[in-house]
Structure 1
Amino acid sequence: MTETQATGARTGTNPLAPAPEGTRTAADVVTPQVVAQLTRDVVGSGRTANHAPFTGEKLADLPESTPEEVADAFARARAAQEAWAATPLARRAAVLLRFHDLVLARQAEVLDLIQVETGKARLHAHEEVQAVALAARHYGRKAPSYLRPKRHTGAVPVLTKITELRQPRGVVGQIVPWNYPFELSVGDALPAFVAGNAVVMKPDTETALTALWGRDLLVEAGLPAEVFQVVLGEGQVVGTEVVRHADYVSFTGSTTTGKIVAQRAAARLIGCSLELGGKNAMLVLEDADIEKAAAGAVRACFSSAGQLCISIERLLVHESVADAFLERFTALTKAMRLGNSLAYGADMGSLAGERQFEAVRTHVEEAVAKGAEVLAGGQPRPDIGPYFFEPTILDGVEEAMAVCKDETFGPVVSVYRFRDEEEAITRANATSFGLNSSVWTKDGRRGRALAARLRTGTVNVNEAYASAYGSVQAPMGGMKESGIGRRHGSEGILKYTEPQTVAHQRLLPMAPSFGMDDATYAAFMTRSLRAMKAFRLR
């Protein structure tokens, strides 16, 4: 990706003008034939619908599942899971590698669906393709080493043989948000499948077709269809039933709902992983490269119209470089093009729907009414589409304004100046969230040292979010109210397993033998324990 592509800066263009329209429309992408194919395995006696953010019009009628139908989906998944878990691990991993190739070969199909269902720009939709391919390749290659039996030193060396096994949990209940409907649905399910689980997924209805396309491709790659069930409907009804029947729950969404999911999982004594909200900060130190930091801030704040859990909503800038940074950042932001075409070229797309649009507008209007200054943007763009809102920079934001501490989840960023590094760290950490942060400095060692003091699950030095998120061998997730558990790396697959210890005792029992009485046995074990410490056994 070139820097021009990354920042959205253009020369000779009308600022914030719509990008040229492509030749395809939502009706060309979401045809009755496509809907019938993708929903053929979804059991739902009711009817619901999704909508196109670019126009606000209805996209498709979809099945809606009842609580009884959710229970049936779990029954089918549970019946299929045992045979899938018995399938050799190498064969399960091969499904992911075939899926990787299919995703890349047929990416145009899912890019259209992502754009039509979310309203995001095509380049931002491609981030989902990249993320899913990375996860498929990683777990397709690394799952055998993550899951292989491990030998441990037993209670009595030589006599006690210990093997740690990783057993699948059973049927994973997955509840998926609307903002990254490919990556956070199938992408998150891949390690669960390769670990031997079945999955019952509840995607957000507004972006269900994207998730169903991913399921279709996984089945084509060799995943048994019954192992992957999809149910649709309102979260309060269908989501509740998913948690009721699952052996483990994977949830991505708001902190408020995540707490409810955690309580319900705890009541059933099942595990859960939760990626929740954020109020992420980007720190621009006095020695930062201003041009690179400003370009990085555009990516950080306005990718997917800010509807990204790890996007930046707070810009903390050293007072000595604040004016220069804001001049460049504001210019780049004003040069961005909003677009609603199914083609590359737009720098930012639409908000996902009316609820998100109103949340963004309310935050901006309230901040301005209380004295904040708009440096760029700040206005809806109904000339492009019903939910378009300009990328917005706010200065002079105070704590009394909702935008200061509440997650906006839109293309709005607030600017704050700091005097020294200690103040920057204190302000960055002064939030109940702890998902992602970003540090910009020419001194890499200093940046990494500062990163270690930030209370967020990921920290990117001289990048917005992609370097940490795209490094799939490393864990990704939140601290504090941004969630529990991690995706990616070993933690991203081991959470879908139960550790099992198999202890094989040989020759002598763990009890008095060869005529020993209790006292003699206790003395023997005392000497043995001292000897094991002397020999530095662990």
Structure 2
Amino acid sequence: MTTEQARTPALPTTTKATSRPAWVTDELVARWCGWVRRDPTREGEPVTALAPYDLSPTASVPSCVPEDVSAAAAGARAAQRDWASTSFARRGEIVLAFHDLLLARQEQVLDLIQWETGKARYHAWQEVAQVATIARHYARRARRYLTPKRVRGMVPGLTKVREVRVPKGVVGVISPWNYPLYLGVGDVLPALLAGNAVVSKADSQTPLTLLWTRALLAEAGLPDDLWQVVTGSGSVVGTALIDAVDFVCFTGSTATGRTVAERAARRLVGVSLELGGKNPLIVRADADIAAAAAGTAVAAFANTGQMCIHVERVYVHQKVYDAFRDELVRVARSLRVGQTYDYDADIGSLVSSAQLAAVEAHVADAVGHGATVLAGGRARPDIGPLCYEPTVLDGVTPEMAVCAEETFGPVISLYSYEGDPVSLANQGTYGLSASVWSRDTREAERMAGRIRAGSVNINDGAAAAAGSVEAGMGGMGDSGLGRRHGVEGILKYTESQTIAIQRLMPLGPPPASSAESFVRSTNRQLTLLRRLGMR
């Protein structure tokens, strides 16, 4: 422990929650598990996760084998044929009914999310709000996004051309544990509204949240076979899923994303990948220091730092470095770490012992190489077995693992800068999200255009862009391919098909004309079109 840590007062805490939600009965779990697509005659090793709050088992979920995945894809493919001919209006009705049920029963899924992930309840609620927003957005906009477009034909007046969007067929969704509702369902809804069937691989840490949601969509009117759920290890079930579907939507680590892309490429199957990030935040000299510090804390410590878009690198102009540092430390030390099924805790638990070990290793390595812990820097087993304090590091240098590697925990590093910070923000191979704080928003916007990141937030840490579901969200470089949200978030689940109708006369030389005269005539037309400024 450093001298600074020894002076750090204990963080405020909240009452500990150590048991599973009382309303979650074995009967309910069995009912949810009925949505797992598997051969019931086969005995297999069940999937059992550990609850982060007390490391006790949550509930056992049956696991699948590759044959189950193949059967799920076949069942989904059969159901998709009818679904593709279902009207947009009917698809939208089902998704809006799901929207209403989700809001009405959110207390249940909030409990499940917390039980399986250990996150604070407010951060669980953010998933509900985001999924509801996505459901409403695409239910209202899917028809407009997918409306056929008239385009100019080869010979105006004689060639009529339409570009239409047709479903991919069966979409495979592989989602992670850190946002089991938002990432598990937010990508499924536009795929369904585009006319596809879906096969989802539930993450082994958080299968109950996904299965609860699958049951809710069935209640809203979604056909039973249209959205299939499989469970089990990524190396077995995930691999089989990639081999069985027509498009893959994956969210997870960059290393695994490369493997997914390579396997899909062998079948010439498209992929959408949201991967890792080492996201920068810039505090300009003219920033509102109090607002920037509060926003930085939210962007760094929300979801206990376990989100791909959270901030890990903070570059502060040297003129305001001391003031910003002191205010950020004050905010970090004021955050309440706890484990409760209410809104009393600001920061929840890490999800697993492995995640805690990774965070501890990064901080220990940094301190061992000379970094200073300004706030936090220690586990809190007195609160919960996987709790870790919001941590602010100073004096981080390139040889420290925390400098360039993704920590995925409640840890940020502060750096002072004097010149142009964009080159600092662009260091490394990631390019997912970034943030700029400045009173001069016009200058900040110009700076944003030079930052290599899929999203840049001005005077906000990460949520403004991610929550704007009409705008695409995704990464550059090692942070992935494709976008969720917006028009691209639904078009990616479709193929573009061109339908051309030739009228009155065929293309090419007419029967009474030679090829040579046709070429001369066409050349004159091309020259005229060029002079008239026509395409």
Match of 1:432 among 404, 417, 429: 429
> Take 2:135 and 2:10, find their aligned partners in 1: how far apart are those partners?
39
Q: Residue 375 of structure 1 corresponds to which residue in structure 2? A: 374
Q: 1:15: Cα distance to partner?
A: 4.7
- The 3 A distance-change label for structure 1 pair 94 and 53 is same
Do the aligned partners of 2:109 and 2:212 also contact (CA within 8 Å) in 1?
A: yes
The match for 2:34 is 40
In the alignment, which residue of structure 2 is the partner of 1:19? Answer: 14
> Residue in 2 aligned with 1:89?
88
**2:453 paired with 1:456:** yes
Q: Does 1:31 align with 2:25?
A: yes
Find the counterpart in structure 1 of residue 334 from structure 2.
335
Q: Which stretch has the larger CA shift, 330-339 or 35-44? A: 35-44
Alignment of 1:361-440 (within 5 A): 361-420=360-419, 422=420, 424-440=421-437
Superposition map of 1:208-227 within 5 A: 208-227=207-226
* Aligned mate of 1:531, from 515, 528, 531: 528
Partners of 1:450 and 1:110 lie apart in 2 by 40
1:160-239 to structure 2, matched below 5 A, reads 160-239=159-238
Identify the residue that residue 509 of structure 2 maps to in structure 1.
512
Instruction: Indicate conservation of the 8 Å contact 1:25/1:342, yes or no.
Output: no
Letter in 2 for 1:43: R
In structure 1, runs of 5+ residues without a counterpart are 1-13
Whole-angstrom distance in 1 between the partners of 2:507 and 2:93? 43
Q: CA deviation at 1:215?
A: 1.4
Instruction: Count matched residues.
Output: 522
Alignment partner, residue 292 of structure 1: 291
Tell me how far 1:29 sits from its aligned partner.
4.6
Equivalent in the alignment of 2:5: none
Distance in structure 1 (CA, Å) of the matches to 2:157 and 2:10: 74
Q: Secondary structure at the match of 1:245?
A: coil
- For 1:314 and 1:535, locate their aligned partners in 2 and report how far apart those are by CA, in whole Å: 54
1:172-222 per-position Cα deviation (integer Å, ceiling 9, x unaligned): 011110000000011111110000000000021110111111211111112
| 1:262 aligned partner, one-letter code | A
User: Does 1:497 find its partner at 2:494?
Assistant: yes
**Do the aligned partners of 1:15 and 1:337 also contact (CA within 8 Å) in 2?**
no
Structure-2 residue corresponding to 1:57: 56
State the TM-score, normalized to the length of structure 1: 0.95
Contact 2:362 2:401 in 1 (8 A): yes
Using structure 2 for the length normalisation, give the TM-score. Answer: 0.96
Q: Is the 8 A contact 1:43 1:63 kept in 2?
A: no
1:204-283 alignment to 2 at 5 Å? 204-283=203-282
Distance 2:54 2:190 in 1: 36
Q: How far does residue 470 in structure 1 lie from its aligned partner after superposition?
A: 0.7
Shift, 1:27, TM fit: 4.5
After TM superposition, give the deviation of residue 223 of structure 1 in Å: 1.2
Answer whether contact 2:120 2:339 (CA < 8 A) is retained.
yes
Q: Which residue of 2 aligns with 1:10?
A: none
Residue 316 of structure 1 aligns to a residue whose secondary structure is strand
- Which stretches of structure 1, 4 residues or longer, exceed 4 Å deviation after superposition? none
Q: CA deviation at 1:511?
A: 1.4
In structure 2, C-alpha distance between the alignment counterparts of 1:486 and 1:119, rounded to whole Å: 28
Deviation at 1:533, TM superposition (A): 3.0
Question: Which range is displaced more, 428-437 or 210-219?
Answer: 210-219
- 2:33 corresponds to which letter in structure 1? T
SS at match of 2:49: strand
Query: Which SS does the other structure have where 1:48 is aligned?
Result: coil
Shift of 1:516: 1.0
> 2-side partners of 1:376 and 1:336: how far apart?
11
Percent identical pairs in the alignment equals 51
Residues 294-352 of structure 1: per-residue CA shift (max 9 Å, x gap) = 10011010000000100000010001101000101101100111110100120000000
CA deviation map 1:452-475 (0-9, x unaligned): 110000000000111101111111
Q: Which amino acid aligns with 2:119?
A: K
Amino acid at match of 1:81: Q
Deviations 1:405-431 (A, max 9, x none): 0000000001111002x2x10110011
Aligned residue runs from structure 1 range 122-137, under 5 A? 122-137=121-136
Q: Report the alpha carbon displacement of residue 266 of structure 1 after superposing the two structures with TM.
A: 0.6
What secondary structure sits across from 1:50 in the alignment? coil
Secondary structure of 1:166's counterpart equals strand
Q: Return the offset for 1:149.
A: 0.9
Contact 2:296 2:461 in 1 (8 A): yes
| TM-aligned CA deviation for residue 355 of structure 1 | 1.0
**Two-structure CA RMSD over aligned residues (Å):** 1.2
CA distance in 2, matches of 1:312, 1:432: 15
Please give the secondary structure, in 2, of the residue aligned with 1:223: coil
Is the counterpart of residue 488 in structure 1 residue 468 in structure 2? Answer: no
Give the Cα separation in 2 of the matches to 1:138 and 1:15.
43
Contact 1:30–1:59 (8 Å) recurs in 2: no
SS in 2 for 1:220: helix
| 8 Å contact from structure 1 (residues 164, 499) kept in 2 | yes
Q: Which moved more, 1:153-162 or 1:40-49?
A: 40-49
- Tell me the secondary structure at the aligned position of residue 58 of structure 1: coil
Superposed CA offset, 1:354-386 (max 9, x none): 111110010001111111100000000111111
* Greater mean alpha carbon deviation, residues 429-438 or residues 25-34: 25-34
User: Residues 29 and 441 (structure 1 numbering): CA distance in 2 closer, same or farther, change over 3 Å?
Assistant: farther
Residue 12 of structure 2 contacts residue 334 of structure 2 at CA under 8 Å; is this kept in 1? no
SS across alignment from 1:489: coil
Deviation (angstroms), 1:20: 3.2
Pairwise CA distance, 1:514: 4.5
Taking the aligned partners of 1:340 and 1:28, their CA distance within structure 2 comes to 16
| Letter of the 2:112 counterpart | L
Q: Which of 471, 474, 478 is residue 477 of structure 1 equivalent to?
A: 474
**Deviations 1:437-496 (CA, angstroms, capped at 9, x unpaired):** 000000110111111110000000000111101111111000000000000111000000
1:196 maps to amino acid: G
3-state SS, counterpart of residue 98 of structure 1: helix
Cα-to-partner distance string for 1:219-268 (whole Å, 9 max, x where unaligned): 11121110000000000000000001110000000000000000011111
